[in-house]
Amino acid sequence: MNVLLHGIAIVPEFHTYIQQLIQAFEKQGQEVWVTKSLFKSIRDTEFAPGTSVLQEGEVGIKAMDFVISIGGDGTLLDTIARIGALEIPVLGINTGRMGFLATIAKEEIALAAEDLLAGRYSLEDRSLVCLESSIPLFDGLNFGLNEFTIHKRDTSSMITVHTYIDGDYLNSYWSDGLIVSTPTGSTGYSLSCGGPLISPAAKNFVITPVSPHNLNVRPIVVSDDSEITFKIEGRSEKFLVSLDSRSTPIDASVALKIKKEKFVAKLVKFPNYSFFDTLRQKLNWGFDMRN
């Protein structure tokens, strides 16, 4: 088994847990690799000298059986971008705070490695958004696990986003921006803008306006078989579009279409995992702050 570890700017306090993870796999004769960004964080530690560093590019990553993302949900999103259409299973270890995607706590690392090696896991398919545009954007990484966003830039004025579903006019959103979220992304930016929570297995997109001018405008859930197109107007000549954490400026002449990506992200889940347990814990449901 080939296992790739990926992290970005890991704090020194977490180095011991990475060492524990590497040793757990190596004791079972598994080959462990790290990405260049993770190696930069651990190169001065005692376990780093013999670590194999994966060279950048699809050829190297193709040989991996699993990729372990070490960090927060942002690191896991970056991991999915690196994997792309290869659909290599990803396990998220949480060094951050919320961890809707990276759900394994540092205290559970040894048990997680044991379960992974023993095959005590399942793979959960997560749908992705795919961006089609009239000009190349994002260096070919035209997909996202969480959401696609249109946002105003360089002005305090609102923008107008004319939105169409399968060619049918939906609405003109006069707002700071517009989010098209996957079920996975429903716990992210869309949620902070008033969007609904959606189970990961649902086959939907959520269209959520960002600070809409008209208060009667609300998020809408549509089928992820839909194709969503936009026309943007505003006082500024430039707007921002983003896929997860990647963003780039465009002008109003760029044609934009969102649809479901042909491939999926495969997340490793262990028998004790429940999406609804995670919601209750992270959002403090059932917790009475008065007590």
Q: Which residue ranges make up the annotated binding site for NAD(+)?
A: 73-74, 146-147, 176, 187-192
Element holding 37 (H helix, E strand):
helix 36-42
Cβ neighbours of residue 271 closer than 8 Å, sequence gap 6 or more: 115, 120, 121, 122
Q: Which of 44, 65, 73, 154 is catalytic?
A: 73
> Buried (b) or exposed (e) across 37-53, using 16+ Cβ within 10 A?
bbbebbeeeeebeebee
Measured distance CA(240)–CA(171) in Å, rounded: 20
- The answer to whether the beta carbons of residues 137 and 250 sit under 8 Å apart is yes
Order the strands of the 129-133 sheet from edge to edge.
143-144, 129-133, 256-260, 228-233, 159-165, 168-175
Structure tokens at 139: 């260096």
Going by the DSSP 8-state scheme, the letter that residue 197 receives in this structure is P
Cα dihedral across residues 115, 116, 120, 123: positive or negative: positive
Measured distance CA(64)–CA(167) in Å, rounded: 41
Is 65 tagged catalytic? no
- Which residues are the active-site residues? 73
